[in-house]
Amino acid sequence: MTIGDALAEARRQAGLTITQVSQRTCIRETIIRGIERNDFSACGGDFYARGHIRSIARAVGADPEPLIREYDATQGAPEAITAADVFEPSTPIKLKERRRPNWSVALLVVLAAIVGVATYHFLSAPGKSDPTTAAKTSQVRTHASHQPKNQPTPAPSATAHHSHRTVIRVTAVSGDCWVYLTTARSGRLIYQGVIAAGTSRTWRERWGVHLQLANPGAVRLRVDGKTESPGVQGQTLTIGPGHRVTS
């Protein structure tokens, strides 16, 4: 019995329609129909096909492991695909070499600033300036000394929100899900692995991150307690401070 025949028979024995299986697994009906006809072309590759087979089998009460082995023997690649194979870039990423600071240039800038300040004070001294200008300057200073000291406090800096940590929670509702999470600034890896069905993981990040999900239809994404769309397969979500989610 083929994979598609086994899944179709298990679905009929469970008394479920393709629409009901689609609602339970968050997999499109066209993909489920294709799998039951042993057509895996709409799955998007071996990795996603295995995930769909596993999710559908669990939804209809069948053991997914023999079906996965059957797929690997008849359809899949000789070697199993890992999360690193899915998300590894096609060309290596070259890291820029950090340059040492040029202290000679910095010293010249500091000396130029000191000379400029000294020249300004020398030219603006009362003995060297024009008497009329000195009198006007004295009037301005006297007027300023009578201004009230209770000035309004400046508003907080616009960068204060960086102290907030964005809470990201991914829950695998109806199937296993690969998660690939990196920092948006440098691409540093935060997490890479599988979240098993029925479990969840939570991260608290101060800066923006990039999130990629395999089998996103089987997960629920919450950012700062707010449910967000997990996107579609192959999509990268950018999550920034203030639970801003963009693609």
Which of 60, 81, 102 is where one domain is finished? Answer: 81
Strand order in the sheet with 236-240: 189-195, 177-183, 209-214, 236-240, 244-246
List all residues 6 or more positions away from 101 whose beta carbon is below 8 Å from its beta carbon: none
Q: How many helices (H) and strands (E) does the chain have?
A: 8, 9
- Judge whether 41 lies within some domain: yes
Specify the pLDDT at position 64.
94
The single-letter code of the amino acid at 22 is S
Question: Of 83-97, 98-112, 131-145, where does the model show the most confidence?
Answer: 98-112
- Judge whether 227 lies within some domain: yes
Which of 15, 47, 81 is where one domain is finished? Answer: 81
Report the CATH number at residue 25.
Answer: 1.10.260.40
Q: Identify which of 172, 181, 241, 176 has the alpha carbon closest to the alpha carbon of residue 210.
A: 181
- Judge whether 92 lies within some domain: no
Give me the residue label for tokens 């939804």. 59
What is the domain range of residue 209?
A: 162-246
Q: Give the chain's mean pLDDT.
A: 78
- Judge whether 48 lies within some domain: yes
pLDDT (tens digit, 9 = 90+) per residue, 105-118? 777 888 888 888 77
- Judge whether 98 lies within some domain: no
Which of 47, 81, 115 is where one domain is finished? Answer: 81
Specify the pLDDT at position 207.
86
- Judge whether 103 lies within some domain: no
Query: pTM for the full model?
Result: 0.39
- Judge whether 134 lies within some domain: no
Which helix (H) or strand (E) segment holds residue 32: the answer is helix 29-36
pLDDT (tens digit, 9 = 90+) per residue, 118-136? 777 666 655 444 555 445 5
pLDDT (tens digit, 9 = 90+) per residue, 144-163? 455 555 555 555 444 444 46
Domain count, the chain: 2
